[in-house]
């Protein structure tokens, strides 16, 4: 493997140590006046003339079927993560498409409360995607019709990529790729049930090294009526142990005429631009890298658009967005559940900066919302005093 592919976490060229000024009071991120302090950073692949590889892109967005996304950066559906508070913040920072937490088709058909609770969609959440998984065509068909009638998602995505045992044991997720005939039946059932709603697929390369189905699966999915494919460049057996193999994203792109979204091992702007350049993919999907890090979303969108690199967040801004996320979770889920859901978010937001890292240990152990707010606000005041 080339050394350049192994070095995933490289500091961007042209970084400076300048920081935006500290706001004088607590506010959400949208009230900050943050000045970009990084020089323009482009790659040649951003300046080139439109080619066959880029024909499905708008100036800044991506066209999937009849839907035009505002940017080429998509946030993957993640169980326990991509709820409304997460999605609201991600959209504000420039995500072109967000998804609800992925859900089981049989849970939808049974109208399981725990499953339906993951599908709270607000009117301002457009475009929005819902991802489903299942191993029975009839169940997937019924769940697709129910979701469209109830929520009218802009995109209905089929999960052929989840390697989690409790999903794969049922023949769903990446296990559906063991039988391309079954994959065709499942996909056709959803497309026919969806009517005019755009159907997409997110998949891995296959179950194992000996059963890789890319690029063969691509033309099958396209012939079923799928309007875009997101490919995570790993097999199920790989999990996250080995680097993603972007060459399979390129091979899939060469095999189909619909948009291909690249996924896997995008941790910074250089990764995103290199993925576009090496694979010819039409967009980029990220997951783990943006947990507690909406500023990466902003930087990735700017890089994909050939725009100046936005400034890194001041530690005070990290605390403000963390506070905002906490308040949204409380509104959405109530104090007890909201605080429980925030524990991992506290660590993701604050461990990235040495200035905010000291309070993580105490925050993840609090049992009271008032105490959590007090810890965050007290540390915020200390940072302001230090900067004064």
Rounded CA-CA distance 165/63 in Å is 34
Which position among 45, 46, 100, 162 bears the catalytic label?
Answer: 162
Rounded CA-CA distance 130/153 in Å is 6
61 cis-preceded (ω within 30 degrees of 0): no
Q: For residue 192, what are its two tokens?
A: 């026919």
Question: Which residues are paired to 64 by β-bridges?
Answer: 67
**Residue holding tokens 């042209």?**
14
Q: Where are the alpha helices (DSSP H) in 10-58?
A: 44-47
Do residues 177 and 203 touch, judged by C-beta distance below 8 A?
yes
Rounded CA-CA distance 310/325 in Å is 21
Provide DSSP, 167-204.
HHTTT-GGGGGG-HHHHHHHHHHHHHHHTTSEEEEEEE
Active site (annotated) includes residue 162: yes
327 to 95, 124, 276, 277: CA distances (angstroms): 21, 18, 37, 40
Rounded CA-CA distance 146/123 in Å is 18
Do residues 174 and 162 touch, judged by C-beta distance below 8 A?
yes
Contacts (Cβ under 8 Å, ≥6 apart) of 130: 99, 100, 103, 119, 147, 151, 153, 155, 156, 157
| Residue among 171, 144, 166, 168 at smallest CA distance from 157 | 144
| Catalytic machinery residues | 162
């Amino acid at each position: 493997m080339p050394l350049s592919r192994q070095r995933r976490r490289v500091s961007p060229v042209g970084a400076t140590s300048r920081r935006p000024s500290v706001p004088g009071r607590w506010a959400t991120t949208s009230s900050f006046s943050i000045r970009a302090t990084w020089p323009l950073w482009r790659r040649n692949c951003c300046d080139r003339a439109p080619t066959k590889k880029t024909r499905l892109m708008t100036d800044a967005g991506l066209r999937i079927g009849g839907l035009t996304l505002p940017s080429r950066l998509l946030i993957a559906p993640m169980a326990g993560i991509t709820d409304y508070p997460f999605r609201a913040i991600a959209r504000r920072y420039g995500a072109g498409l967000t998804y609800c937490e992925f859900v089981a088709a049989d849970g939808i058909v049974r109208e399981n409360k725990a499953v339906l609770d993951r599908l709270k969609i607000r009117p301002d959440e457009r475009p929005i995607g819902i991802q489903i998984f299942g191993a029975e065509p009839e169940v997937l068909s019924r769940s697709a019709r129910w979701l469209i009638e109830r929520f009218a998602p802009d995109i209905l995505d089929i999960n052929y990529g989840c390697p989690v045992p409790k999903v794969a044991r049922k023949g769903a997720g990446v296990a559906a790729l063991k039988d391309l005939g079954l994959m065709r039946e499942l996909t056709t059932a959803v497309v026919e049930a969806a009517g005019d709603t755009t159907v997409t697929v997110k998949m891995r390369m296959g179950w194992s090294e000996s059963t890789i189905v890319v690029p063969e699966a691509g033309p099958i999915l396209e012939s079923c009526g799928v309007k875009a494919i997101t490919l995570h460049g790993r097999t199920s057996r790989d999990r996250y142990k080995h680097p993603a193999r972007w060459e399979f994203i390129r091979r899939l792109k060469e095999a189909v005429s619909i948009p291909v979204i690249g996924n896997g091992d995008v941790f910074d702007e250089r990764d995103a631009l290199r993925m576009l350049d090496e694979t010819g993919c039409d967009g980029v999907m990220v997951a783990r890298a943006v947990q507690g890090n909406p500023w990466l979303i902003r930087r990735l969108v700017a890089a994909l658009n050939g725009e100046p690199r936005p400034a890194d967040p001041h530690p005070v801004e990290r605390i403000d967005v963390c506070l905002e996320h906490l308040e949204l979770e409380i509104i959405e889920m109530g104090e007890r559940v909201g605080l429980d859901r925030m524990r991992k978010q506290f660590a993701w937001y604050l461990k990235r900066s040495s200035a905010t890292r000291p309070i993580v240990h105490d925050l993840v152990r609090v049992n009271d919302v008032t105490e959590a707010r007090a810890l965050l606000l007290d540390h915020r005041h200390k940072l302001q005093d230090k900067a004064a």
